[in-house]
Structure 1
Amino acid sequence: MLITFKSQSFSDVTMYQEHAQRILDVLNKNHTRGVITAAEAAHAVQLLEQEITLSKLHPEVDAGHANHSHPHHLPEEDESTEMADKNHIGFAQRAFPLLEMLRAARDGGDSIVWGV
């Protein structure tokens, strides 16, 4: 399932629900539908930046949250760990578009909505 985040300050951001879930959990928001108001955006940026920093400090935990780079890719038995690490898309990379949207919403005084 896909979630599309919308704001007047930024282009739409669409993510797989499983990837957006961690971000929304950090922000204490429902994944089905919700809003981050302009007043909440500054705090949301801080929370998400903290989670990104933690994911970079503890990459083994980050890998446990999202250990696949493509939903239909199953690694071959002989595929090297180096190749798997190269294909891993971490939390910081997945969160970046929404973080940029949050920054734009904060600076522009706009809200972000999804599922409506």
Structure 2
Amino acid sequence: MLITFQSKAAPDVTMLKDLAGYLLGLVGKRLDVRGVITREQLPGAIERLEAAIVDDKNTEEGSAPLHHTTHANAYEHRAGLSQRAYPFLDMLRQARDQEADVIWGL
């Protein structure tokens, strides 16, 4: 199932339900039938999501040697949180800058 986030400040962001639920959990929200991140909540939500991205990058860098393969000296690469969260984080930042809410619905 797809979830679409909307704001007057940014283009819509659509993602899979599992990722949407995970990202909302990181910013202190739950994936309900409808929801909102108010303009007052945006600075804290952005801060929490940015901190989670930094933690994920640190974890990924620390475990990179563990994923090293001897075949062709290649590294297994997974899409990190920063890549998956960027469109949502960008929307939150634009909404904060324009003092707009972010809403979603199933």
TM-score scaled to structure 2, two decimals?
0.81
What do you get for the CA RMSD once the two structures are aligned? 2.4
Query: Please, which of 76, 79, 82 is the counterpart of residue 89 of structure 1?
Result: 79
For structure 2, the 5+ residue unaligned runs are 62-71
Aligned residues: 98
How many angstroms apart in 1 are the aligned matches of 2:49 and 2:27? 7
Moved over 2 A (4+): 80-84
How many angstroms apart in 2 are the aligned matches of 1:82 and 1:115? 41
**2:41 aligned counterpart, secondary structure:** helix
How many angstroms apart in 2 are the aligned matches of 1:81 and 1:26? 34
Residue 103 of structure 1 deviates from its aligned partner by 0.4
Instruction: Identify the residue that residue 17 of structure 1 maps to in structure 2.
Output: 17
For structure 1, the 5+ residue unaligned runs are 61-79
TM-score scaled to structure 1, two decimals?
0.75
* Compared CA separation, residues 57 and 83, structure 1 to 2 (3 A): closer
How many angstroms apart in 1 are the aligned matches of 2:74 and 2:19? 23
